[in-house]
């Protein structure tokens, strides 16, 4: 993989040691592409949506297990009993995408699958608490040269140096954005909407492409802000306010209201 040689080498080492790995990175950084690369190389089981039913049904299909009834009518326990002996015998690589909101029940299921001998590799935009990944790897932005090289692979013979420079600039080093821009440029090139050797035509085309801004940056967990805030408030009241809790009540009410709004917004997003 272009620009991911170091990360691939690290994951390969963890897989050899039978260690579960969490691939971290913002949206568009190439987590899904990374998992599918591992799927192809190791003939692993790729699972797009992380729910207990989806995980087990994918494993049933992966092992090509024949069932008398359709898997949609089987319970979670019945499906697990079906795949358990195959997992123990073949010890597969299980690649689970989009585990950002991994449920507690699904996390326990993945632990059972891992205990049977499977190696779990997950992809997420944030740290996961419902499953204990032994190792973590963070995917960073591609360098400018790697971005140009990746764009060259997508565009092949229609790639010029000016085009590659503009794509590297517009994509911010996000592989998925590079792929998207290359697709748009190839379509425009085939329909004669852009002239590759005319700089004005190129600039006009690329100026229409909106830059990508990640929707979320997990720099600091919101719940931790509340803990620190109330801790600092407690110290202030006990040490410096001489028992006056009037300000504390106001700030606490505001804090709890904010926390309720945050929880409701999180549940709605799920």
For residue range 47-57, list pLDDT tens digits in order.
988 889 999 99
Q: Phi and psi at residue 96, in whole multiples of 5°?
A: -110, 120
Does position 246 have pLDDT exceeding 80, yes or no?
no
Q: Evaluate if residue 221 carries a pLDDT over 80.
A: no
| Residue with the larger pLDDT of the pair 116 and 212 | 116
Residue 208: what pLDDT?
83
pLDDT of residue 270: 46
pLDDT at 256 over 90: no
pLDDT: which is higher, 77 or 68: 77
CB contact set of 52 (below 8 Å; sequence gap of 6+): 76, 103, 105, 106, 109
Residue 16, pLDDT > 90, answer: yes
| pLDDT tens string 140-157 | 999 999 999 999 999 998
Task: Name residues whose C-beta falls within 8 Å of residue 110's C-beta, 6 or more positions apart in sequence.
Answer: 55, 94, 96, 102, 120, 131
More confident residue, 196 or 136: 136
Which pLDDT band, with edges at 50, 70 and 90, does 240 fall under?
A: low
Instruction: Using the predicted structure, report yes or no on whether residue 245 has a pLDDT greater than 60.
Output: no
What would the CATH number be for the domain defined by 5-138?
3.40.50.300
**In whole angstroms, what is the distance from residue 123 CA to residue 35 CA?**
8
Instruction: Average the pLDDT over each of 8-22, 31-45, 53-67, 189-203 and give the range with the smallest value.
Output: 189-203
Mean pLDDT value of segment 248-267: 66
- Cβ neighbors of 50 (< 8 A, separation 6 or more) are 96, 97, 98, 99, 102, 106, 122
* Distance, CA of 25 to CA of 34 (rounded, Å): 11
Map out the domains of the chain as residue ranges: 5-138, 144-207, 222-269
pTM as predicted: 0.74
The residue written with tokens 């699904």 in the block is 106
pLDDT, residue 217, reads 44
| Residue with more model confidence, 264 or 89 | 89
């Amino acid at each position: 993989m272009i620009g991911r040689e170091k990360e691939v080498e690290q994951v390969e080492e963890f897989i050899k040691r039978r260690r579960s790995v969490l691939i971290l990175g913002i949206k568009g950084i190439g987590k899904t592409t990374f998992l599918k690369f591992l799927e192809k190389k190791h003939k692993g089981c790729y699972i797009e949506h992380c729910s207990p039913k989806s995980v087990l049904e994918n494993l049933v299909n992966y092992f090509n297990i024949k069932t008398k009834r359709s898997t949609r009518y089987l319970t979670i326990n019945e499906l697990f009993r079906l795949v358990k002996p195959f997992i123990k015998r073949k010890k597969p690589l299980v690649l689970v995408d989009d585990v950002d909101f991994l449920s507690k029940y699904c996390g326990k299921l993945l632990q059972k699958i891992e205990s049977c001998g499977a190696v779990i590799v997950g992809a997420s935009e944030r740290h996961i608490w419902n499953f204990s990944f032994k190792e973590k790897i963070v995917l960073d932005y591609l360098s400018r040269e790697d971005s140009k090289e990746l764009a060259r692979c997508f565009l092949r013979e229609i790639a010029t140096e000016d085009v590659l420079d503009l794509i590297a600039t517009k994509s911010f080093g996000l592989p998925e954005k590079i792929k998207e821009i290359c697709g748009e440029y190839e379509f425009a090139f085939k329909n004669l909407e852009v002239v590759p050797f005319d700089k004005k035509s190129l600039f006009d085309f690329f100026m229409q492409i909106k830059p990508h801004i990640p929707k979320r940056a997990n720099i600091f967990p919101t719940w931790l802000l509340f803990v620190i805030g109330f801790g600092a408030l407690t110290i202030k009241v006990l040490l410096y306010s001489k028992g006056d809790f009037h300000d504390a009540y106001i700030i606490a009410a505001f804090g709890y209201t904010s926390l309720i709004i945050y929880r409701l917004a999180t549940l709605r997003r799920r």
